[in-house]
Amino acid sequence: MANDDIQGTITDSSGNPISGATVYLVAETSTNKVAFKSTDSNGYYKFTKHPDADGMPQEWHVAAYYEDGSGNVFNSVSQPKVSASLSEGAAISSSVVYDLETGDTSRWDDVNDLSATTSQVYAGSYAGICDNAITNGYQAKVNIYDGGRQPSEFEFFWRETSFSYGGGLRLLNSDGEFELGLATDNPGWAIDDGSGVQKVYSGDGYDRWIRFTITFDWSNGEFSADFEDLSSGSTYTDSGRQLKKGKDLEVLRLEDYTGGTWQDGDSMNMWFDNISFTA
Ligand SMILES: [Ca+2]
Ligand SMILES: [Ca+2]
């Protein structure tokens, strides 16, 4: 197991081989990219005798990245994690998903308060939980797109208890400026966009999964919101809302939020799952 080769073929969503894609080998237990290769003319890559110093079975992700020269960027991380032989290749999709299915927070870049848990799960075996509100700092951070991208859609699911006084997600662009925030105003739903913070729905209660889908219109610096309480069926939709800057997205942060103020440190007890970005 220790020195097996990891190899495969990178294809597009139609199954056509992608030449010149960059493939990273990412350890299960960290976000470190331990090696990278470019695919050949047949889309083939191979990591020979990949690092596995402890001699124990080590599982890996393969992350693939490709720009087609027309401004289209394709990213993927193999899910579930691949074990020592990746023989069937990893199809490039244009989605990046944070679903906690590694059972840890290894895919996050900096974590102050976020844990993988089985206590409440929207999909799969794990969700993320934040249960220790942080003042003047974020709960957790991840670089979604190094250098910034303009995905078409952003979606996630959250769940909150009555012990929580709100929390949420904030998106920053490649200049380090905020573009959009979405938060609970326990149990209401709040949007922090180009118009500032607004509570858009009062919420139907606690202990239920809520779906949040954002569709971006980058050419106009706008987005549409489509939110749904998966227990009651209540929805909120709006369109033509202004982003704060309208540039791009690079970083996702989970942050505490209470009654209109981010990072206030006043109680946060909520789960997140299937946070996805689709380019
Ligand atoms: Ca999950
Ligand atoms: Ca709070």
Ligand nearest to the CA of 256: 2
269, 212: one domain: yes
137, 193: one domain: yes
| Distance from the alpha carbon of residue 135 to the mean position of ligand 2, in angstroms | 9
| Distance from the alpha carbon of residue 155 to the mean position of ligand 2, in angstroms | 21
| Distance from the alpha carbon of residue 164 to the mean position of ligand 2, in angstroms | 6
The percent of residues above 70 in pLDDT, for the chain, comes to 85
Which residue, chain included where needed, has tokens 């976020």? 114
Q: What is the pLDDT of residue 42?
A: 86
**Does residue 91 contact residue 15 with C-beta atoms inside 8 Å?**
yes
| Residue 260, both tokens | 């209109």
253 against 92, higher pLDDT? 253
Work out the angle at residue 163's Cα, subtended by the Cα atoms of residues 211 and 214, and round it to the nearest 5 degrees: 20
Cross-strand pairs, 74: 66
Ligand nearest to the CA of 118: 1
| Distance from the alpha carbon of residue 265 to the mean position of ligand 2, in angstroms | 6
Q: Coil, strand, or helix at residue 243?
A: coil
Which residue, chain included where needed, has tokens 């401004």? 71
Per the domain annotation, does 250 fall within a domain? Answer: yes
61, 118: one domain: no
Q: pLDDT per residue over 176-190, tens digit each?
A: 999 999 999 999 999
Give the CATH number for residue 31: 2.60.40.1120
77, 116: one domain: no
Per the domain annotation, does 33 fall within a domain? Answer: yes
| Tally of CA atoms within 13 A in the half-sphere of 205 that contains its CB | 7
81, 139: one domain: no
| Distance from the alpha carbon of residue 100 to the mean position of ligand 2, in angstroms | 22
| Distance from the alpha carbon of residue 208 to the mean position of ligand 2, in angstroms | 17
Separation CA 166–CA 16 (nearest Å): 45
Cross-strand pairs, 3: none
Q: How confident is the model at residue 222 (pLDDT cuts 50, 70, 90)?
A: very high
**Does residue 249 contact residue 75 with C-beta atoms inside 8 Å?**
no
219, 262: one domain: yes
32 against 99, higher pLDDT? 99
| Distance from the alpha carbon of residue 76 to the mean position of ligand 2, in angstroms | 33
Q: What is the pLDDT of residue 81?
A: 63
Domain finish residue from 93, 125, 148 = 93
**Does residue 177 contact residue 247 with C-beta atoms inside 8 Å?**
yes
Taking the CA atoms of the chain, what radius of gyration do you get in angstroms? 19
| Distance from the alpha carbon of residue 255 to the mean position of ligand 2, in angstroms | 9
138, 252: one domain: yes
Number of domains in the chain: 2
Ligand nearest to the CA of 164: 2
Separation CA 250–CA 247 (nearest Å): 10
Give the CATH number for residue 197: 2.60.120.200
134, 240: one domain: yes
Q: What is the pLDDT of residue 32?
A: 64
List the domain range (segments joined by +) for residue 81: 6-93
218, 85: one domain: no
| Distance from the alpha carbon of residue 69 to the mean position of ligand 1, in angstroms | 33
Per the domain annotation, does 189 fall within a domain? Answer: yes
Q: Name the amino acid, one letter, at 169.
A: L
Per the domain annotation, does 121 fall within a domain? Answer: yes
176, 212: one domain: yes
Of the candidates 13, 39, 14, which has an alpha carbon nearest to the alpha carbon of residue 24? 39
77, 126: one domain: no
| Distance from the alpha carbon of residue 240 to the mean position of ligand 1, in angstroms | 31
71, 137: one domain: no
Separation CA 9–CA 32 (nearest Å): 22
